[in-house]
């Protein structure tokens, strides 16, 4: 019933169908949480967790979900995992929960998760759906971490809070503001597309 | 059974919602104590930071907090004696740009100088207004003179205001509204503390 293969899904989600630079999904969080590498890593790890588990859950119960209410059930499942992540962060890593503030709750609205549940998990068996969710999350993570790396390095002169450039460095204020993520994202899309087109031509 | 029938949809939706919400309620109940303890610890550390006696270790922080301030009830003003100085300490809450900012403000007994300030929680923009919780911003308040109008948070020049006698601190660059909100919150608290101190 499914012709999706493990390496095929991996390649699609990381490169040829990457949620960020090909599907242009999840852009709001790409702009909002990428000015600090630590927060970006934790936030995207939470997204990997939620996409993977919501995908496998949707896939397992897909035979039972009535068509009329399937979107609302998917949203419920996604919200469930996000709240679980929020509770775990609040109880066991309160500093990070404080730093991320409202962004954890906003994972629910990340279009990548809903997109994978609807486009993939609804029509594929559980294990490959789990794999699809995880790799989609990783494809998202890779791009965000790259943007956060550049933004924190230039915007604060540090990486994960550790100063890199020392005191003489003048921080680029633009880098901690949302517009810089727009420019960087545009640059990444441009670079990725150029490489893809060259590969196709070759 | 017909998956699209009215009865099936209602029963299915109800069951799914029930099961997931039940698990969340369990997880929330199981961690409630831990979360409450974390919040207590953050508050205790904010009090200690405000009076200039920071403690990193959780257990010691709670002990020192108890010894210095006793039992703290909500937003009441607490009189304490820290390092041979009488101080007034108050937990505050006020409106920031996006949400409530809570923190702790400590002043000397005559409300002439700020002893220190710490932020407990806020929902300001990360990287901009959110920088009010960074040390360079909070350290400007340490030992700052309180002028007749209270404290002025001025438009910063990318540096900090190191003069403790001018009643002025630098705001956060790119976060004028959060800086202005901090000025309003702190001056409101200073007014309250002046009344409390009987001036």
Could you give the ipTM of this predicted complex?
A: 0.81
Degrees to nearest 5, angle at CA A192 with A188 and A195: 140
How far, in Å, CA of B89 to CA of B40, rounded?
A: 16
Handedness of CA B82, B85, B91, B93 (dihedral sign): negative
- CB-CB contact of B114 with B106 (8 Å): yes
Q: Do B121 and A98 touch (CB under 8 A)?
A: yes
What pLDDT is stored for residue B199 in this prediction? 56
Query: Which of B9, B20, B43, B132 to probe by mutation at the A interface, max A CB count within 10 Å?
Result: B20
Q: Using the 8-state DSSP alphabet, how is residue A77 labeled?
A: H
Residues 6+ apart with CB under 8 A from B93: B75, B100, B101, B102
Residue A162 has pLDDT above 90, yes or no: no
A-chain residues near B8 (CB < 8 A):
66
Over the stretch A90-126, which tens digit does the pLDDT of each residue have? 899 888 887 777 778 888 888 899 999 999 999 999 9
**B127–A80 C-beta distance less than 8 A:** no
Cross-strand bridge partners of residue B90: B77, B105
- Which H helix or E strand runs over A57? helix A37-61
Interface test with B, best of A94, A95, A102, A108 (most B CBs within 10 A): A94
Cβ <8 Å between B13 and A91: no
User: What are the chain A neighbours of B42 within 8 Å (beta carbons)?
Assistant: 94, 98
Q: Cα B84–B85–B90 angle (5° rounding)?
A: 135
Task: State the DSSP string of B39-93.
Answer: HHHHHHHHHHHHTT----SHHHHHHHHHHHH-S--TT-EEEEEETTEEEEEEEEE
What are the distances in angstroms from CA B4 to CA A64, A67, B7, B9, B93? 10, 7, 8, 7, 51
pLDDT in tens, chain B (199 residues): 688 899 999 999 999 999 999 999 999 999 999 999 988 888 899 999 998 888 878 788 888 888 888 877 777 888 888 888 889 999 999 999 988 999 999 999 889 999 999 999 888 877 688 889 888 899 999 999 998 888 888 886 667 777 888 888 998 888 889 999 999 999 999 999 998 887 5
Q: pLDDT tens digits, residue range A47-88?
A: 999 999 999 999 999 999 998 899 999 999 999 999 999 999
B22–A contact, CB cutoff 8 A: no
Q: CA separation (Å) from A108 to A29, A31, A78, A114? A: 11, 16, 6, 8
Q: Are A26 and A111 in contact (CB under 8 A)?
A: yes
A74 vs chain B: nearest CA distance in angstroms?
A: 11
What mean pLDDT do residues A28-55 have?
89
Q: What residues of chain A have any CB closer than 8 angstroms to a CB in chain B?
A: 32-33, 35-36, 39, 61, 64-69, 72-73, 76-77, 80, 83-84, 87-88, 90-92, 94, 98-99, 101-102, 155, 173, 176-177
């Amino acid at each position: 019933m499914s012709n999706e293969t493990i390496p095929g899904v991996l390649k699609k989600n990381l490169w040829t169908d990457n949620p960020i630079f090909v599907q242009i999904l999840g852009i709001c969080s790409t702009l909002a949480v990428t000015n600090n590498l630590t927060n970006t890593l934790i936030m995207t790890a939470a997204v990997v967790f939620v996409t993977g588990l919501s995908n496998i859950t949707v896939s397992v119960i897909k035979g039972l979900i009535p068509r009329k209410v399937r979107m609302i059930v998917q949203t419920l499942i996604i919200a469930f995992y996000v709240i679980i992540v929020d509770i775990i962060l609040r109880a066991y890593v309160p500093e990070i929960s404080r730093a991320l503030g409202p962004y954890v709750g906003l994972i629910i609205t990340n279009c990548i998760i809903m997109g994978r549940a609807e486009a993939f998990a609804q029509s594929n068996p559980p294990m490959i759906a789990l794999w699809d969710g995880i790799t989609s999350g990783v494809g998202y993570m890779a791009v965000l971490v790259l943007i956060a790396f550049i933004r924190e390095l230039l915007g604060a002169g540090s990486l994960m809070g550790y100063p890199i450039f020392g005191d003489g460095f003048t921080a680029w204020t633009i880098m901690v503001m949302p517009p810089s993520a727009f420019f960087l994202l545009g640059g990444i899309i441009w670079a990725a597309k150029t490489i893809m087109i060259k590969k196709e031509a070759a | 059974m017909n998956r699209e029938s009215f009865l099936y949809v209602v029963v299915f939706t109800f069951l799914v919602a029930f099961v997931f919400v039940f698990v969340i309620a369990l997880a929330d109940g199981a961690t409630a104590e831990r979360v409450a303890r974390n919040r207590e610890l953050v508050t205790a550390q904010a009090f200690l930071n405000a009076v200039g006696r920071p403690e990193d270790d959780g257990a010691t922080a709670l002990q020192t907090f108890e010894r210095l301030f006793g039992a703290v009830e909500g937003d009441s003003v607490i009189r304490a004696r820290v390092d041979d100085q009488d101080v007034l300490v108050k937990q505050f809450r006020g409106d920031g740009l996006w949400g409530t900012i809570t923190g702790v403000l400590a002043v000397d007994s005559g409300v002439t100088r700020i002893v220190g300030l710490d932020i407990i929680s806020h929902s300001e923009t990360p990287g901009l207004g959110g920088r009010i919780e960074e040390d360079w911003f909070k350290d400007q308040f340490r030992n700052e003179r309180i002028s007749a109008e209270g404290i002025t948070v001025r438009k910063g020049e990318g540096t900090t205001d190191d003069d403790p006698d001018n009643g002025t601190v630098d705001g956060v660059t790119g976060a004028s509204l959060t800086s202005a909100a901090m000025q309003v919150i702190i001056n409101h608290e200073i007014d309250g503390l002046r009344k409390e101190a009987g001036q």
